[in-house]
Amino acid sequence: MNSLNKFYYEKLQYYEEELMMDLANLIRIRSVRSDETSSPHAPFGNGIRQSFNELLNIAERDSFQFSDFDGYALHIDYGSGDEIVGILAHLDIVSEGNKDDWTFDPYTLTELNGFLYGRGINDDKAPLLAAYYAMKILRDLNIPLKRKVRLIVGGAEETTWECMEHYFTFNPQPEFAFTPDGDFPIVHCEKGVIQGTFTFETERVLNKEPPHKLIEIQSERQRGFICETCKVIMESQYPEAMKSALSDADEIIISNQTITAIYKGDKALSRNPHKGKNAFFLFAKNMIHLKNELANGEKLFSLLERYLLEDIYGKKIGLFHQDSETGSTTMAIPYVTFDGQTFEIAFDYRFPKGQTLETATSALQRFCTEQKLSASIYKSLDLHYLQQDSRLICQLKQAYKSVTGNEAEGITKGGISYARVLKNGVCFGPTFPGDEPNTHMPNERIRIETLFKSIIIYCETIRLLAS
């Protein structure tokens, strides 16, 4: 174990109360993007501007140098040198959703059984402060550094990323960098991403009168999760028989010949579709054997059965790829809607090394042409990958082992972090194997032990990279 760790821990103990106060002050701010309150120097709205001001007040209190870049981003500097060690974090958060799903007030820092709770606690306010306090500790210990250390903070990581585009218009790329917005040991590969929708019109049925008809399909138009709830409205000449077919529904309401069925799945991130139960798939499985008896659903259920249903890897659609180092593709369905005329099926495809944005997009376009679908791409990002023997990753491995005693092997994730804007950067912490931080979900949390250990790791990481 590094001999400096003892001194890092002693300083952390000294700052523990102040750290918790700073964290509580950041958590109380609902820093969700609000275009309605956008203004000069607050391009992402009042909440994010308030969180920027709070962090700048902390930096001013501690006599750090800082700069604000028009409310898009800010940075806090320590040390000097022509080269920069960058740490990229963000202060914007996703909405808390339904507060009734929370055990605690999402905007009050709450401690219970070794965990800290609050919206943004893990993504990314506590990790941001972990990096900030690592800078403070190194300064207090007068650790000699040859490079400037720069904490770079954005305000639109959860949305459109103009923050980083604006920031790097005025500032150079760091020589080395990491973002504390993911997992330990080291996320050396973030999969490529294509998010979009398939749409098609309902078919016309001639010369026959099927006994059932779809009226409407409702599910939340979300991008980051698999379909969690699905509400289906149908008309049927035989409503009781239809009710029997909808065996996986959580609730069924019959009014004359109108049937309303509600399906509930699991809240699972779309980058990990294998971790949840897709609500729409439950409905589809109930209905596939009845597709020829639907006045307007035969194409939908044929498409699902042949290409999408229960295929979380994209095999049926021809998009499967597996790499021995960076894993396999995933294909998720975040939502499906039908308004009586148009079907819309959202998809979230992620791919490892060996697949490319160009080949994947071409395969999707070919599929749409063959199936007579219209495709709309919402987001497309190529894979971000660093070799595990790069100088940066070797230093991160050394820092991780010196604190934990464990070897740090590179891992691949499907997430999207600021590492993608870096020429030489990766995602590094704070979540350890076995942690369940409930990111983007109710009761978001971080283990206190995880937070403290992350600070020590970041102390040693910064020392190695900057010296």
Mean pLDDT of 316-340: 94
At residue 168, does pLDDT exceed 80?
A: yes
pLDDT at 39: 95
Cα 428 to the center of its chain, rounded Å: 15
Confidence of residue 224 (pLDDT cuts 50, 70, 90): confident
Q: Is 277 helix (H, G, I), strand (E, B) or coil?
A: coil
| pLDDT digit string, tens, across residues 180-201 | 999 999 999 999 999 999 999 9
| pLDDT digit string, tens, across residues 107-156 | 999 999 999 999 999 999 999 999 999 999 999 999 999 999 999 999 99
Mean pLDDT of 46-68: 98
Mean pLDDT of 403-414: 94
First to last CA, the chain: 19
For the chain, give the mean pLDDT.
94
* CA atoms of 13 and 10, how far apart (whole Å): 5
At residue 205, does pLDDT exceed 80?
A: no
Tell me the sheet residues that pair with 179.
Answer: 427
pLDDT at 288: 87
At residue 88, does pLDDT exceed 80?
A: yes
* CA atoms of 461 and 439, how far apart (whole Å): 24
Domains of the chain, CATH where assigned: 5-190+384-466 (3.40.630.10), 192-381 (3.30.70.360)
* CA atoms of 96 and 445, how far apart (whole Å): 13
pLDDT at 310: 83
* CA atoms of 138 and 23, how far apart (whole Å): 20
Q: Rounded to the nearest 10 degrees, how much is the dihedral formed by the CA atoms of 84, 89, 92, 94?
A: 150
Exposure string for 200-210, b = 16+ CB within 10 A, e = fewer: bebeeeeeeeb
Q: Is 323 helix (H, G, I), strand (E, B) or coil?
A: strand
Number of neighbours of residue 454 by Cβ within 10 angstroms? 28
Map tokens 């972090």 to a residue: 417
At residue 203, does pLDDT exceed 80?
A: no
At residue 202, does pLDDT exceed 90?
A: no
pLDDT at 1: 57
Number of alpha helices (DSSP H) and beta strands (DSSP E) in the chain: 10, 25
pLDDT at 204: 65
| pLDDT digit string, tens, across residues 289-324 | 888 888 888 889 889 989 998 899 999 999 999 999
At residue 206, does pLDDT exceed 70?
A: no
Mean pLDDT of 200-228: 84
Q: Is 438 helix (H, G, I), strand (E, B) or coil?
A: coil
DSSP per-residue string spanning 46-114 = HHHHHHHHHHHHHHHHTT-EEEEETTTEEEEEES--SSEEEEEEE--B-----GGG-SS-TTS-EEETT
pLDDT at 210: 82
Residue 344 CA: distances (Å) to CA of 246, 282, 371, 375, 379: 22, 17, 14, 10, 16
CA nearest to 92, candidates 149, 157, 161: 157
* CA atoms of 153 and 170, how far apart (whole Å): 14
pLDDT at 138: 97
* CA atoms of 177 and 214, how far apart (whole Å): 52
At residue 430, does pLDDT exceed 90?
A: yes
